[in-house]
């Protein structure tokens, strides 16, 4: 039985991965805060794990005060640094570290594969540092740049669905901003694909056909058979989230070139397929 150790195991993606891999006979161990803050325990766990999945990080959709920016940084960079240090100090190392990043690393000037141009804002810089830290591990490393993960049991979709069912859904800002997303089932299967093939690379974890916020709004309205007349003005989001509103108003247009080139098959390729399966 192989062991997978996961940071952020209690979150939407982490809990989904835990259930998913347990079905395939893996032993899944949550890297709790107690373990993370105990060098001896963490190193022992790294030595006894075949795969390490690093998901830890405070919620990016929030008001970005200076204090919260520091939390976004420390919850990602510092956690990853501890994982990497424990791996590097272990005589027996995991076969593979899969560390998380986000499509927010790119600018929004074009459609990008994994070689796209980076932005120079806070979110992109955070992602770049996060990836750099993970790549210091003396084992195979894969980086997963997440789009917005859509699933029934948590994350953004669960929060979006209620207002749309009530007929209160609408575009955010202009609605023209790109929306790169992935169905939770495809995300889980991508983890298995990379683990089964022991791949070390950087991957965009997004559906093959990105959409816009307007495309998402229309797909959701169609799926729940409700009107979508209630736009959310950009200035309102800026009042609520300050600089953090960029996550909602300034999307990236991203495609998963590397996964597709390796033969990975997506079950949900576009936004309507994805939304229909979740409503």
Q: Which residue has the higher pLDDT, 6 or 232?
A: 6
Read off the pTM.
0.94
Query: For residue 272, what is the enclosing H or E element?
Result: helix 271-278
The pLDDT value given to residue 158: 80
**CATH 2.130.10.10 describes domain 3-278:** no
Six-digit token string for 6: 């996961």
- Is the confidence at residue 17, as pLDDT, over 90? yes
Q: Where are the alpha helices (DSSP H) in 74-150?
A: 79-88, 122-134
Closest C-alpha to 149, from 60, 229, 69 = 60
Give the N- to C-terminal CA distance of the chain in Å, as an integer: 36
- Is the confidence at residue 99, as pLDDT, over 80? yes
The pLDDT value given to residue 188: 98
| CA separation for the pair 279, 265 (Å, rounded) | 23
pLDDT over 90 percentage in the chain: 77
Mean pLDDT of 21-43: 96
pLDDT band at 60 (very low <50, low <70, confident <90, very high): confident
| CA separation for the pair 82, 75 (Å, rounded) | 11
pLDDT band at 230 (very low <50, low <70, confident <90, very high): confident
pLDDT band at 209 (very low <50, low <70, confident <90, very high): very high
Six-digit token string for 197: 């093939």
Q: Is 164 helix (H, G, I), strand (E, B) or coil?
A: helix
The pLDDT value given to residue 125: 96
Average of per-residue pLDDT values in the chain: 93
């Amino acid at each position: 039985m192989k062991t997978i150790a996961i940071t952020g195991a209690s979150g939407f993606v982490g809990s989904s991965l835990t259930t998913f891999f347990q079905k395939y006979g893996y032993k899944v161990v949550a890297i709790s805060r107690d373990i993370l803050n105990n060098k001896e325990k963490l190193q022992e766990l790294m030595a006894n794990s075949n795969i390490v999945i690093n998901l830890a990080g405070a919620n990016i959709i929030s008001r970005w005060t200076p204090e919260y920016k520091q939390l976004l940084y420390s919850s990602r960079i510092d956690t990853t640094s501890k994982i990497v240090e424990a791996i590097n100090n272990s005589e027996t190392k995991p076969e593979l570290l899969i560390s998380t990043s986000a499509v927010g690393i790119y600018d929004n000037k074009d459609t990008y594969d994994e070689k796209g141009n980076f932005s120079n804002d806070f979110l992109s810089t955070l992602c770049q540092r996060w990836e750099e830290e993970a790549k210091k591990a003396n084992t195979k490393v894969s980086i997963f740049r997440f789009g917005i993960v859509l699933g029934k049991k948590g994350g953004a979709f669960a929060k979006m669905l209620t207002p749309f069912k009530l007929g209160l859904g609408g575009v955010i800002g202009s609605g023209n901003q790109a929306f790169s997303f992935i169905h939770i089932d495809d995300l889980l299967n991508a983890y298995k694909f990379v683990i089964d093939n022991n791949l070390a690379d950087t991957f965009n974890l997004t559906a093959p056909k990105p959409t816009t916020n307007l495309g998402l709004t229309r797909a959701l309205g169609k799926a729940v058979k409700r009107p979508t007349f209630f736009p959310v003005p950009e200035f309102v989001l800026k009042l609520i989230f300050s600089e953090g509103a960029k996550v909602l108003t300034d999307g990236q247009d991203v495609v998963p070139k590397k996964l597709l080139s390796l033969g990975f098959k997506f079950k949900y390729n576009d936004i309507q397929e994805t939304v229909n399966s979740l409503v």
